[in-house]
Amino acid sequence: MPSNWFKSIPQLYAAQYLNSGTGDTVLGGTLSGVPSNVAAGAGDANRPGDRLILGAEDATALSDTTIGTLYQGMYQYVLAKSGSTGTATRGRAVWWDTAVADLNYQVTPDETGSQATALFAGVVITSTIAKGSYWWVQQTGRVFVRYKAAMTGTPADGQAIYHSVAGAGADLGTFDNFGGDATAITYTLFGTFLQKYVGVARGLPVNGGIATTVEIPFGVVKHRI
């Protein structure tokens, strides 16, 4: 992780909150007004791969409530792929892009390529991360997610939640309960479900909605340290 104890305070610049704006077009964010004799780049602030762990109070302070509420958990500063087909929008999963080196911390909303949906990188917390921009995604803790338009099983509070792996379109990067907890599991299914497992629902999942949250434990995201 390219961070250290003595780095300056992470800056939000144009966006006042952690879940507002469409991402930093310049690495680390741009200054809206540049004082004389100060370099315009703010690269000493946020770097790709930086992490935040927020407590309850921190998450409250950094939430743009017109967009949504943030909760305790870990967040990482990543780069949204500039040439992606899909767009990283709020509540959807993004994946590590294996087409570039890991140190770029580049993510893509597309469920294609060699990584497909195997390398879960986090959940988008702002309305949109513009393609080619940098912003924070949530990797563990409680987070609002967008469910598949028609979930496979009957939704229930507390049930296991998985990636829907819908491929493309409106359900790109959404979440699903599959058969719910009642589906008989086979070893083939077990491997798939282990790979796609995200966490447990907190609140009743709603078809096509982003009304409730999932609790993502540590170790589910394929962490880039």
Q: Residues 9, 38, 101, 182: which binds other proteins (CB under 8 A)? A: 9
The residues, any chain, with a CB within 8 Å of residue 162's CB and separated by 6 or more, are: 175, 176, 177, 178, 193, 196, 197, 198
**Judged by CB under 8 A, does residue 32 bind other proteins?**
no
Q: Residues 24, 50, 111, 171: which binds other proteins (CB under 8 A)? A: 50
Number of residues that bind other proteins (CB under 8 A): 34
The least distance separating other proteins from the CB of residue 67, rounded to whole angstroms, comes to 13
Taking CB under 8 A as the binding criterion, the range among 1-9, 21-29, 89-97, 205-213 that sits at the site for other proteins is 1-9
Closest CA to 210 of 164, 158, 175, 160: 175
The least distance separating other proteins from the CB of residue 225, rounded to whole angstroms, comes to 7
Taking CB under 8 A as the binding criterion, the range among 2-10, 35-43, 108-116, 144-152 that sits at the site for other proteins is 2-10
Q: Residues 26, 30, 41, 51: which binds other proteins (CB under 8 A)? A: 51
Alpha-carbon distance values, 39 to 15, 31, 34, 42, 199 (Å): 20, 10, 8, 8, 43
**Judged by CB under 8 A, does residue 149 bind other proteins?**
no
Closest CA to 179 of 167, 212, 115, 196: 196
**Judged by CB under 8 A, does residue 18 bind other proteins?**
yes
Q: Which of residues 53-82 bind other proteins (CB under 8 A)?
A: 53-63, 65, 74-75
Parallel, antiparallel, or unpaired for β 128-129 and 160-163? unpaired
Parallel, antiparallel, or unpaired for β 73-80 and 106-108? parallel
**Interaction site with other proteins (CB under 8 A):** 1, 3-5, 7, 9-12, 16-18, 50-63, 65, 74-75, 217-219, 223, 225
